[in-house]
Amino acid sequence: MNIGILELVLMTVVTAATPLVIAAIGELVTERAGVLNLGVEGMMIMGASLGFAAAYSTGSTTVGALAGIIAGIAMASLFALLTIGLAINQVASGLALTILGVGLSGLLGSGFVGQKRDPAMHLQLPGLSDLPMVGKLVFGEDAFVYFAVALVAGTAWYLTRTRSGLALRAIGDNHHSAHALGLPVRGTRVLAVLFGGACAGLAGAYLSLAYTPFWSPGMTAGRGWIALALVVFASWKPWRVLLGALLFGGATVLQLHAQAASMGIPGQLLSALPYIATIVALMVLSAGSRRNSAAPAALGQAFIASR
């Protein structure tokens, strides 16, 4: 394998990992606040649908990305109303949100099926983007990739170095004690859910604006569920999310090359390879780090102030 092909493979791994990083970081913050949102898939597919529709109609990738974020926030607002405002079961509400998102995205995006547009522009720095191996990989990605890395770093700093981040973690560990100390449990959880929705919507928009610049119903292909698994894989630590997403991206590229090489393995099995690899890695890591698990103690528990 020459340097050019290796660089192309590594870039493909990064692009495959980017939507997972963005969506998983949003879910990580949501779960750190004690809320389990299983509707990531639904928010992602809505972001992909409305993001592409807005970008195609206006010719602007930025408008499309903002539309994806708004779509994710709108879906997350509904989830917050049900689970935080009305204290409805979080698991059931999240599953319902995914079903709603999948159906609604197909309806809203029906007029854009088969349409194509130019993908998001990549960074070009004269002299740097042309460097062998690292040029395009480091200095030639699109803005979504750099944002994903900045999002991981910013989230890690926020959760460990800021007062509000520590308060969010305290609420996720014991919301009743946090409430007794005067911390705004519901307000913090609402903001965390909306942040998670914005990230999921942006991750979905990336799929239809940069990864595969067209809209197709069901194009998230289970990535929302993988993002949920990555949060557990990462033990609720932001930098581990990046590692897990790269692992999934590598498995995705591996199965594509395996299919192109006609190795005689059923295509359905190769298509399942990224998901199998993520599940196996999740099982191995979880078995080896049970003592160091950072799962929020109040995760999935509804907060009712009168209790």
Least confidently predicted of 130-139, 148-157, 258-267: 258-267
- The DSSP secondary structure of 80-111, one letter per residue, reads HIIIIIS---HHHHHHHHHHHHHHHHHHHTGG
Q: What is the mean pLDDT of residues 79-104?
A: 95
Locate 25 and state its tokens. 């970081």
Please tell me which of 11-25, 171-185, 189-203 the model is most confident about, judged by mean pLDDT: 189-203
Q: What is the mean pLDDT of residues 71-90?
A: 96
So what's the pLDDT on residue 263?
60
Chain mean pLDDT for the chain: 88
- Examine the pLDDT at 292 and tell me if it is beyond 60: no
- Examine the pLDDT at 256 and tell me if it is beyond 70: no
Q: What is the mean pLDDT of residues 67-75?
A: 97
Q: Of the candidates 223, 229, 206, which has an alpha carbon nearest to the alpha carbon of residue 15?
A: 206
So what's the pLDDT on residue 307?
52
Domain boundaries, the chain: 18-221
Q: What is the mean pLDDT of residues 47-66?
A: 95
Backbone angles phi and psi of 169, in degrees to 5: -65, -35
Q: Is residue 126 very low, low, confident or very high in pLDDT (cuts 50, 70, 90)? A: confident
Q: What is the mean pLDDT of residues 15-20?
A: 93
Q: What is the mean pLDDT of residues 88-108?
A: 95
- Examine the pLDDT at 144 and tell me if it is beyond 80: yes
Please tell me which of 64-73, 110-119, 222-231 the model is most confident about, judged by mean pLDDT: 64-73
- Examine the pLDDT at 290 and tell me if it is beyond 90: no
Least confidently predicted of 174-178, 205-209, 287-291: 287-291
Q: Which amino acid is at 103?
A: G
- Examine the pLDDT at 35 and tell me if it is beyond 70: yes
Q: How many Cα atoms occupy the beta-carbon half-sphere of 149 within 13 Å?
A: 9
- Examine the pLDDT at 71 and tell me if it is beyond 80: yes
- Examine the pLDDT at 179 and tell me if it is beyond 90: yes
Q: What is the mean pLDDT of residues 139-159?
A: 94
So what's the pLDDT on residue 275?
73
So what's the pLDDT on residue 258?
62
The answer to whether residues 234 and 241 touch, using CB atoms and an 8 Å cutoff, is: yes
Judged by DSSP in three states, 116 sits in strand
So what's the pLDDT on residue 262?
62
pLDDT digits (tens, 9 = 90+) for 229-239: 899 888 899 99
